[in-house]
């Protein structure tokens, strides 16, 4: 071999070595970046931990805050609002009633005919209407005029004379799923908006009166017989079907709970008298806060950037409005600090780009190659080329967020049971008949619980875990579909002036 040949061979060897070095360095870097992504998920998982011990602390905190909220106005972040509902429906309600259900991006109008016995509903007609972003942030006049005119069209179409005498005022149940300071069963002042609504001139106003004025303008002869929160509608419908129902929980876009309380325990309204000695209390638990809640930097930044900072802390960890957004924040950080989502930083930096239903669909993808996850990333987030192991990591993030939310909601439910002596901790003295715990039903509604099976399973499992095997069989969580709409109609029937 000549000198030229030797030189060429040496140059080739050097080049091969250089390529190999670059490749090794690349692999080392990429392994390090993968390691960073895994470490971020691990850290997040640890910060979200909800051991049964921690859940029990949340249970206790919930019960303590309930006491505080009942003791004095402003005594707790739990508002514990009066509803003036002192008797719950029992299945004997009769007649045709209307309901209006406003609580999220949709509102619904309903007409329901109750048979009068045996908890039987004869007809159930519903119309759903979207609330535009403009209406959610416009004026109260625009919102209520829109609702009243939709209601009028519905009544004109559906009022076919069944059980109705012309010109007699029809009774309406109005579900308004925001915090309201009730003045009576049928009136109340809006305290604040939640869930992305922000109609400033409605705060402090009697929302039943706003609706009545709008109905009058459209020439509708209807009366608000009951103004209720969606939790209260759900409790009413739950009780209509099963008289052991003592509490109701909504886990949908927002979250909240209500339950039946003894009036003598509502210390902030001493002397409050009702025929039954009980009253339904709307807890507004979305605003619950406790240092025992496992909060992460992602929750803190979500709260900081929200329009209602330092409010609805529990809701921001639990409800459908926020779960997808928490996942997005974790993925964004992973995209910034590793290369597992190629070129995705930009797309993942758009707030609320991962809505909770998308997150749930990725979480519930049970195909071995996580095809659905890949498709959602491509179609909805315009992120392609994500490896299978990265998709697996993403599903793990969804799981962590969902599991924490479901387990915290479970602790909230057991907190209510503890407050009313149905969690087994009070012993034989209360909540027990002949040594056995009393059967207790909690009505549950909301898309997260009803439509997201992983969430539901985690929640049910955690309730049983916290209560323990002796008490858990006596506590039943019962899905109460359309409690917010049908429940308002059955309350209109129960509190009707025509009854």
* Shortest Cβ 271–ligand BGC spacing (Å): 27
Residues 84, 82: Cα–Cα separation, whole Å? 6
Indicate if 230 belongs to the active site.
Answer: yes
Rounded (10°) angle between helices 388-419 and 453-467 = 40
x-or-dash string of contact with ligand BGC, 172-191, rule CB under 6 A? -----xxx------------
Nearest CA-CA partner of 171 in 272, 238, 219, 99: 99
Residue closer to ligand BGC, measured from CB, 76 or 231: 231
Residues 452, 380: Cα–Cα separation, whole Å? 20
Q: Is 194 in the site for ligand BGC (CB under 6 A)?
A: yes
Q: Is 231 in the site for ligand BGC (CB under 6 A)?
A: yes
**Element (DSSP H or E) covering residue 326:** helix 323-337
Of the candidates 230, 278, 365, 482, the residue annotated as catalytic is 230
- Tell me which of 89, 103, 238, 320 binds ligand BGC, using CB under 6 A: 103
Residue closer to ligand BGC, measured from CB, 256 or 296: 256
Residue closer to ligand BGC, measured from CB, 95 or 104: 104
Q: How many residues bind ligand BGC (CB under 6 A)?
A: 17
Residues 269, 257: Cα–Cα separation, whole Å? 20
Of the candidates 108, 404, 407, 456, the residue annotated as catalytic is 108
Q: Binding segment for ligand BGC among 145-153, 226-234, 365-373, 395-403 (CB under 6 A)? A: 226-234
* Shortest Cβ 255–ligand BGC spacing (Å): 6
Q: Is 229 in the site for ligand BGC (CB under 6 A)?
A: yes
- Is the Cβ–Cβ distance between 258 and 281 less than 8 Å? yes
- Tell me which of 65, 101, 206, 230 binds ligand BGC, using CB under 6 A: 230
- In sign, the C-alpha dihedral spanning 416, 253, 403, 37 is negative
- Is the Cβ–Cβ distance between 321 and 250 less than 8 Å? no
* Shortest Cβ 256–ligand BGC spacing (Å): 3
Residue closer to ligand BGC, measured from CB, 50 or 177: 177
**Element (DSSP H or E) covering residue 361:** helix 356-363
- Tell me which of 50, 119, 256, 402 binds ligand BGC, using CB under 6 A: 256
Residues 307, 401: Cα–Cα separation, whole Å? 22
Nearest CA-CA partner of 102 in 207, 213, 203: 207
Q: Which residues contact 490 (CB under 8 A, 6 or more apart)?
A: 89, 93, 97, 112, 114, 173, 236, 237, 240
Of the candidates 76, 119, 177, 484, the residue annotated as catalytic is 177
Indicate if 79 belongs to the active site.
Answer: no
Q: Is 488 in the site for ligand BGC (CB under 6 A)?
A: no
Q: Which residues contact 65 (CB under 8 A, 6 or more apart)?
A: 76, 77, 78, 288, 290
Q: Binding segment for ligand BGC among 133-141, 167-175, 228-236, 474-482 (CB under 6 A)? A: 228-236
Within residues 282-321, the interface with ligand BGC by CB under 6 A covers 284, 286, 315
Tell me the two tokens of residue 192: 């604040």
* Shortest Cβ 232–ligand BGC spacing (Å): 9
Indicate if 177 belongs to the active site.
Answer: yes
User: What SS3 class is residue 74?
Assistant: coil
Q: Residue 476's beta-bridge partner residues?
A: 441
HSE-CB of 211 using CA atoms within 13 angstroms: 28
Q: Is 101 in the site for ligand BGC (CB under 6 A)?
A: no
- Tell me which of 173, 233, 238, 254 binds ligand BGC, using CB under 6 A: 254
Q: Is 325 in the site for ligand BGC (CB under 6 A)?
A: no
* Shortest Cβ 127–ligand BGC spacing (Å): 20
Residue closer to ligand BGC, measured from CB, 96 or 484: 484
Residue closer to ligand BGC, measured from CB, 228 or 362: 228
Q: Which residues contact 349 (CB under 8 A, 6 or more apart)?
A: 332
Q: Residue 260's beta-bridge partner residues?
A: 280
Residue located via tokens 């005594």? 75
Residue located via tokens 């057991």? 414
Q: Where are the beta strands (DSSP E) in 252-333?
A: 255-262, 278-282
User: What SS3 class is residue 106?
Assistant: strand
Nearest CA-CA partner of 92 in 257, 282, 243: 243
Q: Residue 258's beta-bridge partner residues?
A: 248, 282
Q: Binding segment for ligand BGC among 51-59, 117-125, 247-255, 340-348 (CB under 6 A)? A: 247-255
User: What SS3 class is residue 186?
Assistant: coil
Q: Is 207 in the site for ligand BGC (CB under 6 A)?
A: no
Residue closer to ligand BGC, measured from CB, 89 or 103: 103
**Element (DSSP H or E) covering residue 158:** helix 140-158
Residue nearest to ligand BGC (CB): 254
Residue closer to ligand BGC, measured from CB, 254 or 415: 254
- Tell me which of 108, 195, 292, 316 binds ligand BGC, using CB under 6 A: 195
Residue closer to ligand BGC, measured from CB, 177 or 338: 177
* Shortest Cβ 251–ligand BGC spacing (Å): 8
Binding site for ligand BGC (CB under 6 A): 103, 177-179, 194-195, 229-231, 250, 252, 254-256, 284, 286, 315
Active site residues: 108, 177, 230
């Amino acid at each position: 071999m000549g000198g030229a040949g030797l030189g060429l061979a040496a140059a080739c060897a050097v080049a091969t070595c250089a390529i190999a070095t670059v490749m090794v360095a690349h692999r080392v870097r990429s392994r390090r970046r993968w390691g960073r992504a895994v470490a971020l998920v691990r850290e997040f998982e640890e910060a979200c931990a909800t051991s049964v011990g921690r859940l029990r602390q949340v249970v206790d905190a919930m019960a303590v805050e309930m006491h505080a909220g009942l003791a004095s106005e402003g005594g707790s972040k739990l508002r514990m609002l009066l509803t003036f509902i002192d008797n719950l429906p029992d299945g004997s309600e009769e007649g045709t009633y209307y309901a209006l259900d406003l609580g999220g991006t949709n509102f619904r109008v309903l007409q329901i005919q109750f048979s009068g016995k045996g908890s039987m509903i004869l007809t159930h007609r519903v119309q759903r209407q979207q609330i535009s972003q403009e209406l959610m942030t416009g004026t109260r006049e625009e919102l209520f005029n829109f609702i009243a005119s939709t209601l009028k069209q519905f009544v004109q179409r559906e009022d076919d004379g069944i059980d109705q005498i012309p010109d007699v005022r029809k009774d309406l149940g109005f579900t308004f799923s925001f915090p309201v300071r009730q003045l009576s069963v049928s009136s109340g002042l809006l305290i604040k908006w939640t869930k992305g609504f922000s109609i400033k001139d409605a705060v402090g106003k009697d929302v039943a009166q706003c609706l009545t004025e709008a109905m009058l303008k459209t020439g509708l002869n209807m009366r608000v017989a009951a103004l209720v929160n969606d939790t209260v509608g759900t409790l009413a419908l739950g009780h209509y079907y099963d008289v052991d129902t003592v509490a109701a929980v909504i886990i949908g876009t927002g979250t909240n709970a209500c339950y039946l309380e003894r009036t003598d325990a509502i210390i902030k309204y001493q002397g409050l008298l009702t025929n039954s000695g009980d009253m339904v209390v709307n807890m507004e638990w979305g605003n619950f806060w406790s240092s025992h809640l496992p909060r992460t930097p992602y929750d803190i930044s979500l709260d900081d950037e929200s329009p209602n900072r330092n409010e609805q802390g529990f809701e921001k960890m639990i409800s459908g409005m926020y779960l997808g957004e928490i996942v997005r924040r974790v993925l964004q950080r992973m995209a910034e600090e590793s290369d597992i989502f190629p070129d995705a930083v930009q797309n993942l930096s758009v707030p609320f780009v991962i809505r909770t239903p998308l997150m749930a669909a990725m979480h519930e993808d049970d195909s071995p190659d996580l095809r659905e996850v890949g498709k959602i990333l491509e179609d909805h987030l315009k992120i392609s080329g994500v490896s299978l192991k990265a998709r697996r990591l993403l599903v793990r993030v969804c799981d962590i967020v969902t599991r924490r939310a479901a387990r915290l909601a479970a602790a909230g439910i057991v907190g209510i049971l503890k407050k009313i002596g149905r969690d087994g901790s009070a012993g034989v003295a209360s909540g027990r008949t002949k040594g056995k715990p009393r059967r207790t039903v909690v009505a549950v509604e909301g898309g997260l619980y009803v439509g997201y099976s992983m969430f539901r399973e985690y929640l049910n499992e955690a309730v049983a875990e916290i209560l323990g095997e002796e008490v858990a069989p006596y506590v039943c969580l019962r899905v109460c579909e359309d409690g917010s709409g049908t429940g308002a109609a059955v309350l209109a029937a129960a509190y009707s002036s025509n009854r």
